[in-house]
Each structure stands twice: as structure tokens, then as C-alpha cells.
A and B are shown apart, each in its own frame.
Chain A
Amino acid sequence: MIHLIDELKVIPGVIGACIVDSQEGLKVTNLPAIFKAERLTLVGKHLQKLYSAGRMSFDDLTDITLNYDESVVVARALEQNTLIFAICDPTFNHNLLTMSFNLLDEEFKLGNFAKAATVAPSAVEEKLTVAAQPAEKLISGALQDLFAAMKEELGKVLGPMAGFIFDEVVEGWVEQGHPDFSRIEELVEQLNQEIADQDKIDKYRQLISSTLKNFQKG
């Protein structure tokens, strides 16, 4: 199954894809490990609902596309309970992806997916691990607003992956101690390590400096 979605990843701008079954959850993914299995499963379920709602209005619905600031999500139902979705850079080639979805749909109808159903990528295995308490539940409302602003600014530096990287770093930061503004420099330092480019680190510092100052002033 994995080779079928690996072909999608070759398309310029496609970060990766995954297939979700409404009953079995995440079946396969080739998205970077930063996309946690439980989150992809959740997104898949929301997309299935959205697709069903669309199908009720439009009999000839093919795909649904959600254009976010950093990324585009394109989803298609392969059968009643199974949906594939790709996460792409905003500059991706939509026509090429649609064509590839059509080919993949054919493969699915030929039963090629079932033969490889035992393939279990790392992200699927992660589903078996006990999910930690979401970091956002531990963070105060004011700090969450600050983080939303910091995440947005990180998008200007890192592009489509910024949101995921930010969430990952925040999760790690929360595990290391009490989520308080007094530890904000630790968080910035950890983000800098992810940015890993001095020019971009400087730019990010510049972008968030007024936000941090305003927060400190209250």
C-alpha cells in the first residue's frame, strides 16, 4: 500500500499522504514523522465527515480541498469508509495530484491495496503508544494566545512545516517544566535549534520580539 502513496510524494509540493479508514483508523502514511498518527486519524475523520456532507449536496463530488495559510489539504474518498488525503505546499500542482488520485482510485478498485495491507509505517505504530496529555491543556489562555502569534511568525520563517514543528517543540517544552512565561527563552532556544539557520533565527527573533515585549508588559 505504501508504494501507492509514495508515488504521490514525487509530485512537486506534495509533502505526503495518508489513508484513513473510519473504523480501523490510520492505515498507511508517508508523511514526515512529525505528523502524529493520532492527529492524522482525527483529521481523516473530520475530512470524512466533510466529504460526506459534500456528497449529500453534490452527487458528482470528486475531491475536497482546504487551503490553509501554510498548507493545502486535498482529500478523496476511495470507498464509503476509506479516504485518502495529501498535505501539500501551497504551490503544489493540483491537476497533477488530481490525476494521480484518479490512478490511485483505479488501483484501489483493482484490490491492490488489500495485498499490501500488512505494511505498517512508523507513524501507525505510534498510534499504539499512550497519548500524552495535550500540551495546550496545560498552558494558560494568555500563553496560548502568545504561542498562536509565535507560531504564525514561525510560518514566515519555516513555511508549511512551521505549525507542526512549533507544536512539537511546545510539547517537549511543557514536558520539561511548568509552562510559564519565565521559561519562554528556553522555548525560543529550542525553536532556534529547529530553525537551524542563523539568518532565519535572527529573522524569527526580530519577528517575535515586539510580541514578547507586549506580553511581558501585560
Chain B
Amino acid sequence: MATAKDFVGRINQIDGVAGCLLVKDDGLVLGQTLDDPEEVYSTLMQISSGLSENIMSSIGFSYCQYLSFNRVNLQNFYVFPIDKYWLGIVQQENCSVAFMLERVSQLIGRVSTGGPGPVS
């Protein structure tokens, strides 16, 4: 099982990822490659997690794969739920988004299958 640092490091190496952070559902930042995540990203991730679940139950959807905050500067911010953790990713401006998302999803699938989560 990967440690939080390993996992964050591997995510960060994916083409199209400008930076990322892994946050536990209690708000604890377990690993990050971004500046100042406490102020900008982790709080937003906590708020997002609750609201995306509320939307899910309100309308009857089954599972939130990820959500994204799309920006004019194209540095979109993605939030992926992984068991009790949330992975936040900042996208590079000029990249293949589909490729990046596919690689991230693959890696998440690898660490979250058959185990309690990506961190130890």
C-alpha cells in the first residue's frame, strides 16, 4: 500500500497535473505539492465533499467520481473522492485533460481497490 507521500508524488508526475494535495475527511492535509493548501484548497475540498454528497442524494445519483472548478485561466481544480480521503488536483493550462483524468482515475483505482485507502 502506498503512503500518502508516494501517492501524491505519483499523481504529481502525471502529464497535465500542475500540483495536487491529499486531504483526509477531517481536513488534515496528508501530502501536497501545492503552495498554501490550507487556505485555498483544503477548505474548498471539505465544503465540496459535503455538498456533492447532498446533491447526489437529492437527485438520486449513485456515486461522485470527481468534481471540477473550471476557471478562465484554465488551471481548473479537480476534487476526487477516495474512500475517506479527497484528492485535489490543479490542472496545467495547456494539457490533454482527458488523458490527465484517465491517468488519475487509473491510479486512484489501483490504490483504492481491495484496500481501505491510499494512505498508511
Q: Interface of A with B (CB < 8 Å)?
A: 35, 39-40, 42-43, 46-47, 49-50, 53-54, 56-58, 60-71, 73, 87, 98, 148, 151-152, 155, 163-164, 166-167
Per the bound structure, the CA–CA distance linking A46 and B56 in Å amounts to 10
Residues of chain B within 8 A of A65, CB atoms compared: 67-68, 70
> What's the nearest-Cβ distance from chain A to residue B51, in Å?
5
In the bound complex, residues from chain B placing their C-beta under 8 Å from that of A57 are: 40-41, 43-44, 69, 77
State how many angstroms separate the Cβ of B56 from the closest Cβ of chain A: 6
When A53-B44, A53-B48, A57-B41 are in contact, do A69 and B71 touch as well, CB less than 8 Å? no
Chain A nearest CB, measured from B36 CB (Å):
11
Chain A residues with Cβ under 8 A from B69's Cβ?
A: 54, 57-58, 61, 64
Is the C-beta of B64 less than 8 angstroms from some C-beta in chain A?
yes
Q: A57-B44, A60-B73, A65-B70 are in contact. Are A46 and B64 (CB under 8 A)?
A: no
Chain B interface residues (CB < 8 Å from chain A):
40-41, 43-44, 47-48, 51-52, 54-56, 58-73, 77
In the complex, which residue of chain B has the Cβ closest to the Cβ of A34? B60
Q: Within 8 Å CB of A148, what residues of B?
A: 62
Cβ–Cβ < 8 Å partners of B66 in chain A: 67
Cβ of A74 to closest chain B Cβ, rounded Å: 9
Contacts of A163 in B (CB 8 A): 59-62
* B52, B56, B62, B64 pick with most chain A CB within 10 angstroms: B62
Instruction: Check B44 against A54 for contact (C-beta < 8 Å).
Output: yes
Q: Is the CB of B51 within 8 A of A63?
A: no
Q: Is the CB of B58 within 8 A of A46?
A: yes
Kindly state the separation between the CA atoms of A35 and B58 in the bound complex, as whole angstroms.
10
> What's the nearest-Cβ distance from chain B to residue A208, in Å?
15
Contacts of A60 in B (CB 8 A): 71-73
Can you name 22 A-B pairs with beta carbons within 8 Å?
Answer: A39-B59, A40-B59, A43-B58, A46-B51, A50-B47, A57-B43, A57-B69, A57-B77, A58-B71, A58-B77, A61-B70, A64-B69, A65-B68, A66-B52, A66-B55, A68-B62, A70-B61, A87-B59, A151-B60, A163-B61, A163-B62, A166-B60
Bound together, the chains give a CA A169 to CA B65 distance in angstroms of 26
Which chain A positions have C-beta within 8 A of B44? 53-54, 56-57
